[in-house]
Amino acid sequence: MPADFLVLPLRARRALTICATVLGVAGGVPAQAEAEAPAARPVVEDPVLEARVLELSHKLRCLVCQNQSIAESHAPLAVDLRNQVREQFVAGRDENQIVDYLVARYGDFVLYEPPFKLTTLVLWLGPLLLLVAGAGWLAFRLRRRAAEAVTTLSEAEHARARALLEGGAPSSSEENRS
């Protein structure tokens, strides 16, 4: 089966389980994790750099957990890619160069915001098209309805309506049949 080939290493699987459990048993798992970690080292050495890494990481899709960015994912590949981003920032490359580096390897799929080009035209313009079409249809219907709405009642119909409103029995023979 092609869909289930992707074997996440244990650490990633555990991370996923934690993601899932935290939703249900908030508090339980983090508390345990705290107890297991005696002395946390400062993770961030350069906060400015780290902020840049994080900002860019949010725009890049993790290829393992495909609905997460590499900033959110705990998959080992996401960690590797974050390290790549950090290393390249340190090496003095700018955001566009790093994005190009990743796109060259993983394709546009790695971008959370797909580029505007021929193959993504429907993706970008589709919603707008639907909106315009919907608005057009609505306008058309409203106009038709406005044209149809002007109906005048005959004298007999007026009389019957008045009778109905006053609580009188309907006088039409059709009504009496039922």
Distance CA 68, CA 8 (A): 15
Contact call for residue 2 and another protein (CB under 8 A): yes
Q: Find the binder of another protein among 77, 99, 111, 163 (CB under 8 A).
A: 77
Report the chain's terminal Cα–Cα distance, integer Å.
Answer: 65
Please, which of residues 85-104 interact with another protein by CB under 8 A?
A: 103-104
Contact call for residue 128 and another protein (CB under 8 A): no
Please, which of residues 139-178 interact with another protein by CB under 8 A?
A: none
Residue 79 or 163: the one with the smaller Cβ distance to another protein is: 79
| CB proximity list for 22: less than 8 A, separation 6 or greater | 29, 30
Which residue type, as a one-letter code, is found at position 29?
Answer: V
Distance CA 77, CA 16 (A): 14
Binding site for another protein (CB under 8 A): 2-3, 5-7, 9-14, 63-64, 66, 76-77, 80-81, 84, 103-109
